[in-house]
């Protein structure tokens, strides 16, 4: 406990302060009095800051494990030295699939014949026919999981709507890069123009079993376009090292329509079925992998739509299932492998990431007439048309729907594997690069902890690879920490702009750690938070957009600003102490946007500012802005927007404001 800081306020000084004509933001003002004051001085003992846990959580990469970001170049199918689980990174990252299915051979050998080279033995093509349940097939190791996997495809293909069938057809036939670029929402046409993306695929009647045209490729755009460097940057994740073919030819798991005649392929795609099943495995899904290899670099360059873009990649996977061409495990495998591939590419690229990022931001600002990152962010989340068929229509405008869809598709509700359940969190080496532009104010070590505290359980299918690629939940990670299992200090430099200046964390944050806000930027919390280590505001702004935004611990304001814009009273689970800085209450009603403190409120300095949103009190009203188990001390000044004279009333358990004049 620090030495008590003693503040003595004499009644005469309070009386003088009450006569001051302080100007207020937006034309408000303040005056001060204390209904409990007397000629005797008030003595205040200021408590110590929240102690937290006293240590910082870490997320070290697993030791003794071959890291994908170091070995991604081994993801090849034409080298006899890179055909096993141990020697091919693209195969190894999906090893969790071996809990479900044992291929007939454990080599990259489906349709592959390789001569001996570099001291490695020759590879003879597998005799796997590609047709389930024949003599060359592998072995189902988890029948419940396998049955649920194929059963999901049966269910959705038998019940899909015409609109779903058309979406599945378009995602199958169009170049993947063009398809997923509509994750840019209102910026889609601008992005496609800047990159030179075009498509020749037209909508068809998905019920018509006609010959199909395949656009093929990714069609990321032209390297000679205005955004040519961005096209090259995104394509760097689609080089040979990014192929899903080695894994397909290792795992040798059939397409769902080969497993069951009850799987109904979209009629217009019937002619797209491969006639060579031995080289046409379903796991992992190539379309899904390409979608992720495109959208993750796009999200790196344009983090304003990070979550919308990766939701679009997840939608590509779902459309592969709706088409009847792939199963949930297939598309989960494509996502997992592609995530590792992009991290590998971003870590090793020789391109200037910062320059490419700036090129994209500057181009989109110029095209939209916006002046900075945050204005562009606002534009990027404004639906420009109500026409659902328009390229600028934002199908991903609803955050809640995106989150629900994305979260369910991480696992597809498939059964857990009991033997893998509940293992310690594991974050792959180099994975933090995926959040480099989305959470730029955090250190690399902190971004790793964000990934650690937001990942899914190890018991889910494909979530038990040694590194942890299958456990990453990038949608949740883009919303900040999932838990404070150590003390967290966030330092934001507003002069750097973008998310450094202003950001929001939407996760429900648990844990026993403490949050300290440093720097000049503004961070908003909107989750149903339960962390218990306390909150310290030293600089910048920490804003509460939910009633439980600050968890269940003490809150200590010694600088900067605490802004409360919650739709109800902000619950402070412990004590509230303010020695400096500003308490900014945005009231949305008589008891909304105020403080409800469970413990003692110690007001030993600092200011109180009150403004209103959708709520207009009148002269003569008395507002209760703070309630507590006990109240000590007072604010150094009080201002209320729109009112020139205000009388603060300090009671034994709170603070009220009488609005005396406009």
pLDDT reported for residue 239: 58
Give the rounded percent of residues in the chain with a pLDDT score beyond 90.
86
59 inside domain: no
445 and 561 together in one domain: no
Q: Which two tokens stand for residue 189?
A: 């046409």
Among 471, 501, 518, where does a domain finish? 471
Residue 60 lies in a domain: no
340 and 243 Cβ atoms separated by less than 8 Å: no
Angle ∠(541,301,467) on CA atoms, nearest 5: 90
* Tens digits of residue pLDDT in 61-116: 999 999 999 999 999 989 999 999 999 999 999 999 999 999 999 999 999 999 99
The sign one gets for the Cα dihedral 541, 542, 547, 553 is negative
Q: How far is 311 from 474, CA to CA, in rounded Å? A: 10
Confidence tier at 182 by pLDDT (50, 70, 90) = very high
pLDDT number for residue 42: 63
Handedness of CA 349, 351, 353, 354 (dihedral sign): positive
Mean predicted confidence (pLDDT) in 525-548: 98
> If you search the block for the tokens 């490419």, which residue do you land on?
356
Does 63 reside within a domain? no
Whether residue 144 sits in one domain with residue 248: yes
Euclidean distance between the first and the last CA atom of the chain, given in angstroms as a whole number: 44
| CATH (domain of 95) | 1.20.144.10
Q: What is the dihedral of CA 571, 575, 578, 579, to 10 degrees?
A: -170
* pLDDT, the chain, mean: 91
What are 321-364's pLDDT values in tens digits?
A: 999 999 999 999 999 999 999 999 999 988 999 999 999 999 99
- E strand or H helix at 258, and its extent? helix 256-259
Extract the tokens encoding 143.
Answer: 């029948």
What is the tens place of the pLDDT at every residue in 503-534? Answer: 999 999 999 999 999 999 999 999 999 999 99
Poorest-confidence range of 18-22, 317-321, 406-410? 18-22
Residue 371 DSSP code: -
Do residues 382 and 314 both lie within one domain?
yes
Task: Choose the weakest-confidence range: 12-16, 83-87, 639-643.
Answer: 12-16
Largest CA distance in the chain: 98
Domain hosting 210: range is 68-471
8 Å CB contact between 572 and 537: no
Are 458 and 527 contained in the same domain? Answer: no
**Domain shared by 394 and 506, yes or no:** no
Confidence label for 36 from pLDDT (cuts 50, 70 and 90): very low
Is there a single domain that holds both residue 287 and residue 376? yes
Say whether both 465 and 500 belong to one domain: no
Domain count, the chain: 2
Question: What's the CA gap between 138 and 146, in Å, rounded?
Answer: 13
Q: Tell me whether residue 373 is in a domain.
A: yes
pLDDT digits (tens, 9 = 90+) for 426-445: 999 999 999 999 999 999 99
Cβ–Cβ contacts within 10 Å for residue 104, how many? 17
Q: Please report the pLDDT score of residue 6 as a whole number.
A: 37
In a shared domain, residues 369 and 467: yes
**Residue 613, in any domain of the structure:** yes
What is the pLDDT at residue 238?
A: 61
Helices 328-348 and 143-159: crossing angle in degrees, nearest 10, is: 100
Last residue of a domain, one of 432, 447, 471: 471
Same domain, 31 and 108: no
Q: Which of the listed residues 450, 471, 492 is the one where a domain comes to its end?
A: 471
| Same domain? 263 vs 363 | yes
- Residues 36, 147, single domain; the answer is no
Whether 132 is covered by a domain: the verdict is yes
**Do 10 and 106 fall into the same domain?**
no
Query: Which pLDDT band, with edges at 50, 70 and 90, does 140 fall under?
Result: very high
Residue 92, H or E segment: helix 89-92
For residue 543, what are the β-bridge partners?
524, 563
């Amino acid at each position: 406990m620090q030495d008590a800081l003693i503040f003595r306020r004499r009644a005469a000084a309070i009386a003088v302060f009450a006569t001051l004509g302080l100007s207020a933001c937006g034309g408000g003002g303040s005056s001060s009095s204390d209904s409990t004051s007397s000629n005797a001085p008030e003595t205040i003992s200021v408590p110590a800051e929240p102690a937290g846990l006293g240590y910082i959580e870490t997320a070290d990469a697993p030791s003794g494990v071959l890291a994908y970001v170091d070995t991604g170049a081994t993801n090849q199918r034409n080298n006899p030295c890179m055909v096993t689980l141990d020697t091919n990174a693209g195969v190894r990252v999906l090893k969790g699939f071996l809990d479900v299915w044992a291929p007939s051979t454990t080599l990259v050998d489906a349709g592959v014949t390789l001569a001996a080279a570099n001291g490695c033995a020759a590879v003879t093509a597998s005799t796997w026919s590609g047709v389930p349940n024949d003599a060359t097939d592998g072995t189902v190791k988890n029948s419940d999981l396998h049955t649920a996997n194929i059963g999901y495809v049966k269910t959705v293909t038998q019940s899909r709507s015409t609109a779903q069938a058309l979406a599945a057809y378009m995602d199958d036939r169009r170049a993947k890069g063009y398809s997923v670029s509509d994750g840019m929402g209102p910026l889609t046409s601008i992005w496609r123009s800047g990159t030179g993306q075009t498509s020749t695929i037209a909508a068809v009647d998905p019920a018509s079993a006609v010959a199909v045209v395949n656009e093929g490729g990714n069609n990321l755009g032209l390297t000679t376009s205005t955004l040519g460097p961005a096209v090259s940057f995104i394509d760097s994740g689609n080089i040979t090292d990014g192929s899903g073919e080695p894994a397909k030819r290792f795992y040798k798991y059939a397409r769902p329509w080969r497993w069951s005649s009850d799987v109904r392929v979209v009629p217009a795609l019937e002619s797209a079925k491969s006639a060579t099943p031995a080289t046409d495995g379903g796991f992992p899904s190539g379309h899904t992998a390409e979608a992720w290899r495109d959208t993750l670099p796009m999200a790196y360059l344009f983090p304003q739509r990070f979550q919308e873009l990766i939701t679009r990649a997840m939608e590509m996977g779902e459309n592969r299932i709706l088409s009847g061409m792939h199963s949930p495990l297939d598309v989960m495998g494509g996502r997992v492998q592609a995530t590792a591939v992009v991290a590998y590419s971003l870590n090793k690229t020789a391109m200037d990431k910062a320059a490419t990022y700036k090129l994209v931001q500057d181009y989109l600002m110029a095209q939209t007439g916006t002046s900075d990152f945050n204005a562009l962010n606002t534009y990027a989340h404004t639906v420009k048309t109500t026409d659902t068929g328009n390229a600028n229509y934002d199908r991903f405008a609803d955050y809640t729907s995106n989150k629900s869809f994305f979260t369910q598709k991480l696992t597809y509700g498939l059964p857990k594997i009991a033997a893998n359940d509940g293992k310690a969190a594991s974050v792959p080496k180099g994975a933090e690069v995926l959040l480099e532009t989305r959470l730029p104010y955090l250190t690399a070590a902190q971004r790793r902890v964000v990934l650690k505290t937001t990942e899914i359980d190890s018991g889910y299918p494909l979530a038990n690879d040694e590194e942890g690629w299958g456990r990453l939940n990038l949608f949740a990670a883009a919303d900040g920490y999932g838990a404070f299992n150590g003390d967290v200090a966030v330092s934001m430099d507003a002069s750097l702009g973008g998310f450094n200046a202003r950001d929001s964390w939407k996760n429900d944050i648990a844990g026993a750690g403490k949050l300290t806000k440093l720097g000049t930027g503004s961070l908003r919390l909107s989750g149903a938070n339960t962390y218990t280590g306390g909150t310290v505001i030293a600089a910048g702004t920490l804003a509460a957009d939910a009633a439980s935004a600050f968890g269940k611990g003490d809150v200590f304001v010694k600088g900067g600003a605490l802004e409360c814009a919650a739709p109800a009273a902000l619950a402070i689970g412990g004590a509230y102490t303010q020695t400096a800085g500003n308490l900014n209450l945005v009231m949305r009603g008589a008891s909304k946007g105020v403080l409800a403190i469970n413990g003692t409120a110690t007001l030993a300095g600092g200011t109180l500012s009150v403004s209103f949103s959708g709520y207009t009190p009148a002269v003569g009203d008395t507002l209760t802005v703070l309630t507590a188990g006990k109240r000590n001390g007072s604010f150094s000044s009080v201002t209320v927007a729109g009112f020139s004279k205000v009388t603060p009333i300090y009671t034994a358990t709170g603070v009220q404001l009488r609005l005396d004049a406009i």
